[in-house]
A and B are shown apart, each in its own frame.
Chain A
Amino acid sequence: MMVRPVFEKHEMEQLLHMVHHVYGYDFSEYSKASLNRRIQKFMHDKGLMDSKSLIQLLAGDRLSFQFFLETVTVNVTEMFRDPSFYKCLRQQVIPILATYPQINIWHAGCATGEEVYSLCILLHEAGLLHRCRIYATDISPANLEIAKSGVLPLHHMREYTANYHESGGVLDFSDYYTAHYDKVLINKQIRERVVFLQHNLVTDHSFNEFQLILCRNVMIYFNKQLQNKVLKLFYESLSPLGFLALGMKESLLFSEIKSKMSAFESAVKIYRKKNK
């Protein structure tokens, strides 16, 4: 049996308080079960046996904190994750977006960019990309650096290609990137309408009005109160009849905005703001 470091509730509170105070990141409304697991992973990787040594390390060393931030903010992602979702975007949402002269999109919690570029490929194939501005935001500067570079590991491309075709893509997927040793570079044409910004959903406000907001598998790491707060932020940031896309196992069920949104395609969790 793997021995876990002991980590009591009040120690967690001490740690989060220090992180908030010293670095400005507020994790107090994150889901505790998942946060706990990832903090324990960080402690295990660093060989730390108690919360006191963890707090000491993080408080005194910005570099260690950066690594901590990368560990506790989950950034596992893939291109065309949930092909049925992307199929719905392609077939039902994008034709409606096409009626706008200019399209603003917010991809909140973009991690290392795989889903952003998936969306850009759909918009490109619909001939809309040049009319779009995609704001891709994440809490982690390290994630944004990777996302911005457009460089992905090669070994996932076979799976991504299958996802792309399953989502209704009919072109040669390899035309969208250049392979170089064990990496690929997504074409500049696909990347050039994306602006990457650091944005913290917990503390930062809205910064524009959008026709489409995507926030998939980000809020699962938040507690219900924070989910509700962030959903209100999205609601306020949507144009009338704007779309909101969540992860396949997320919903508006517990939120205040539920009555102000309609289910556009509930099977893939796409909602639409009601026109008052």
Chain B
Amino acid sequence: MKQVPDYQVVLIGGSAGSIPVISELLQQLPATFKIPVVLIVHRMRNINSQLDVLFSRNAVTRKVVDTEDKMALQKGKVYLAPQNYHLLFEDDKTLSLDYSDPVFFSRPSIDVSFESAAAVFGPATLAILLSGANQDGSNGAAIVAASGGTVWVQDPATAESDVMPLAAVRACAQALVLTPAEMGKQLQQL
């Protein structure tokens, strides 16, 4: 049995149907949960979305930061990838934004953030992929696993849209398939 590593970052990616699950997971994070959490959620372009406010309301113990360029990842905080940018990680553990072309019509792209985190954090990466209607994230999940990191995928049977989790399970044999309730419990033990 693999020992639980000290994660330096928890990434949560999702698209259609993921927002209620993210809210649920954030609600279950104990006040003592110190690992920085980064959310990558597909959103509409050029529409002023208040997702950070929505998530903050649910996260009870912590505020969700609408990420700006070159912010440092800090313990105990939750970062939301801004609309219309890719979110990347620098070697010094700051966050960088990127406005290059969308991946699978998505910006932010989950693949881009997962892959970038894997390069910086390696085995200390925990990547969680939730409900979604396209296959963004599965390639990134495979790269996280190949770099020694951990991948959790929402049980497709519990996902409002199962395309994203099914693609991830196919692309990443090491992925652990969990229900949202199981994910919440496991997060509490980190």
Contact = CB atoms under 8 A, between A and B. Distances in A.
Interface of A: 1-2, 4, 31-34, 36-38, 74, 76, 81-84, 163, 166, 217, 219-221, 223-224, 227, 247-251, 253-254
Contacts, number: 73
A250 B100 CA distance: 16
A224 B88 CA distance: 15
6 contacts: A2-B139, A34-B88, A34-B98, A37-B88, A37-B98, A81-B46
In the A-B complex, list the 5 residue pairs whose CB atoms are closest, starting with the nearest. Answer: A33-B88, A1-B142, A34-B98, A220-B97, A220-B69
B143 A37 contact: no
A249 B85 contact: yes
Given A220-B96, A220-B98, 19 more contacts: A1-B142, A1-B171, A2-B139, A31-B88, A32-B91, A33-B89, A33-B119, A37-B98, A38-B100, A76-B100, A82-B46, A166-B46, A220-B69, A227-B70, A249-B82, A249-B97, A250-B68, A253-B68, A254-B70
A3 to B, nearest CB: 10
B6 interface: no
Contacts of B96: 31, 33-34, 220
B100 A251 contact: no
Interface string B107-146: 0000010001001100000000000000000010011001
Given A32-B91, A33-B88, A84-B48, A74 B139 contact: no
A250 B69 contact: yes
Q: Which of A166, A217, A249 has the most CB of B within 10 A?
A: A249
A75 B12 CA distance: 29
Interface in B50-105: 67-70, 82, 85-86, 88-91, 94, 96-101
Contacts of A82: 46
Contacts of A221: 98
B90 A163 contact: no
Contacts of B146: 1
B99 A74 contact: yes
B182 to A, nearest CB: 25
Interface of B: 46, 48, 67-70, 82, 85-86, 88-91, 94, 96-101, 112, 116, 119-120, 139, 142-143, 146, 171
B90 A83 contact: no
Nearest to B69: A220
Contacts of A220: 69, 85, 96-99
Contacts of A4: 143
A103 B53 CA distance: 39
A32 B70 CA distance: 12
Contacts of A227: 70
A33 B91 CA distance: 8
B48 A31 contact: no
Contacts of A247: 69
Contacts of A34: 86, 88, 96, 98, 100
Contacts of A31: 88, 90, 96
Given A1-B146, A84-B48, A163-B46, A224 B70 contact: yes
Contacts of A36: 119
Nearest to A218: B99
Nearest to A269: B68
A57 B90 CA distance: 27
Contacts of A254: 70
B142 A37 contact: no
Given A1-B171, A163-B46, A249 B100 contact: no
A247 B98 CA distance: 11
